[in-house]
Amino acid sequence: MLQDRFGRRVDYVRLSVTDRCDLRCSYCIPKGFKDFAEPDNWLTFDEIERVMAVFVRLGTRRVRLTGGEPLLRRGVIELAGRLAALPGLTDLSLSTNGTQLAQYAGRLKAAGVARLNVSLDSLRRDCMAEVTGRDSLPQVLAGLMAAKQAGLTPIKINMVAMNGVNADDIESMVAFCIEHQFILRLIEAMPMGDSGRSAAYLDLQPVLAGLRRRFGLQAHTATLGGGPANYWGTADGRFTLGVITPISQHFCATCNRVRLSVEGTLYLCLGQEASVPLRPLLRQGISDAGLEAVIRQAIERKPERHVFTEAPSQIVRIMAKTGG
C-alpha cells in the first residue's frame, strides 16, 4: 500500500495519455497555446503499462484515463484494454470532452472502461461555443447519447460553473441529468495557469444550499467513485449531485491520488509543483524494484494541501498538462 506522511492512502492514479485537446475551454488551454509535449517525450503504451503495473502492485485500484482529450491519443482503446487486464485493477474510467465519444463509446466499454465523466458546461449552443472555443454542443450530445446506449454507467457530467457565464444554466443541466439519469457534478474553477486564474469563480456553497432545499437532497453516505466530490441525492434516486469545491471547501485531507503526465512526470498535487520525472528513469533502464522505490519515495513527498487560495499565481501548469 502507498501511504504518505500524512497517513493518506494513495490508491488512485489519473493517467494523462495526451496533453492535446480539440477544444480550448476558456479556463483550461489558452487560445494559441503551443507548448505541448513533443511526441518523442510521450510515454509509449509499453512504458505506461509498466508504470501502471508497478502502481497496481503497490495498491492502486483505480485508474482514470484523462488528458488533454484522451480519445485523441491514437490506439487509446488498445491501451485501455491492456490496463483493464492488469490483475488487481478494479476500476478503469475515462474523462472526456465527448467530441469523439459517438465513435468510441462501444469500443471503450468492450475494452473494459466501466464509467465515464463527460465535460459539459452548458446546454446552450452559443454558450458552449464561447466556453469551448468552437461549436461543440451537437457533437458532445451525440457522444453522450452513444455512451448511454453503449451501457457505460454511471455517466457523470462535469460542469465548471462560472459566474456570468453558465451559472444560470445549472437549472437546465439538472433537468437534463434527471431526464437521462446522469450524475451532475458541479466544479469550482481552479486558478491553474493564466486561463484558470481568469475564470469567473463561482462559490458553489450557496448553489448547493439552494439545490438541497429545492430537491430535498440528502448527503450520500457511500462515496461514488473515490474522488473529491461530495455527493447529494433525492431519496428516490432520481437525481444525484456531486460538488467539487477545491476553493470554498478544500478536500486535501482525503486526497487519495497522484497524476502521471503524458511525458511521464508524476505530479503529487494538482495545486502544487511537487513532481518526479519517471521518463528518464524508464529510458535509462530502471528495474521494477527501482521504480517501486522511486514511487514510494515520491509519495512521501506528497504535499499536505494545495495553495490555490494562498498562492494562486504559483500554479503555472494548466489542467491539460497535469491531467485533469
Q: Is 46:53 a contact under the CB 8 Å cutoff? A: no
Q: In what order do the strands lie in the sheet with 275-277?
A: 218-219, 230-233, 240-244, 183-188, 155-161, 115-119, 91-96, 62-66, 12-16, 257-260, 265-267, 275-277
Is 225 an interacting residue with respect to ligand SAM (CB under 6 A)?
no
- Closest to ligand SAM by CB, 24 vs 57, is 24
Three cell numbers at 319?
A: 489542467
Taking CB under 6 A as the rule, does residue 319 contact ligand SAM?
Answer: yes
Contact call for residues 16 and 261 (beta carbons, < 8 A):
yes
Nearer to ligand SAM, 53 or 204 (CB): 204
Q: How far is the CB of 84 from ligand SAM (least distance, A)?
A: 19
Q: Is 324 in the site for ligand SAM (CB under 6 A)?
A: yes
Query: At closest approach, how far in Å is the CB of 174 from ligand SAM?
Result: 17
Dihedral angle, C-alpha 81, 84, 86, 90, nearest 10 °: 180
Q: Looking at 20-28, 84-92, 104-112, 215-223, which segment touches ligand SAM (CB under 6 A)?
A: 20-28
* Site for ligand SAM contains 28 (CB under 6 A): yes
Site string for ligand SAM, 63-82 (x = CB under 6 A): ---xx-x-------------
As measured in angstroms, the least distance from the Cβ of 281 to ligand SAM is 26
Are 73 and 93 in contact by the 8 Å Cβ rule? The answer is no
Distance from C-alpha of 120 to C-alpha of 134, rounded to nearest angstrom: 13
- Is 291 a binding residue for ligand SAM by CB under 6 A? The answer is no
- Measured between alpha carbons, how far is 150 from 153 in angstroms, rounded to an integer? 9
Name which of 157 and 268 has its Cβ closer to ligand SAM. 157
Q: Are 25 and 33 in contact (CB under 8 A)?
A: no
Binding mask 183-222 for ligand SAM (x = CB under 6 A): ----x-xx-x---x--x-----------------------
What string marks each residue from 140 to 179 as x (binds ligand SAM by CB under 6 A) or -? ------------------x-x-------------------
H-only helix segments in 133-218: 137-149, 170-180, 193-197, 204-215
Shorter beta-carbon distance to ligand SAM: residue 24 or 61 = 24
Q: How far is CA 251 from CA 20, 55, 72, 229, 304, in A?
A: 28, 23, 31, 9, 11
101 binds ligand SAM (CB under 6 A): no
What does the binding site for ligand SAM look like in residue numbers (CB under 6 A)?
21, 25, 27-28, 66-67, 69, 95-97, 117, 119, 158, 160, 187, 189-190, 192, 196, 199, 319-320, 324
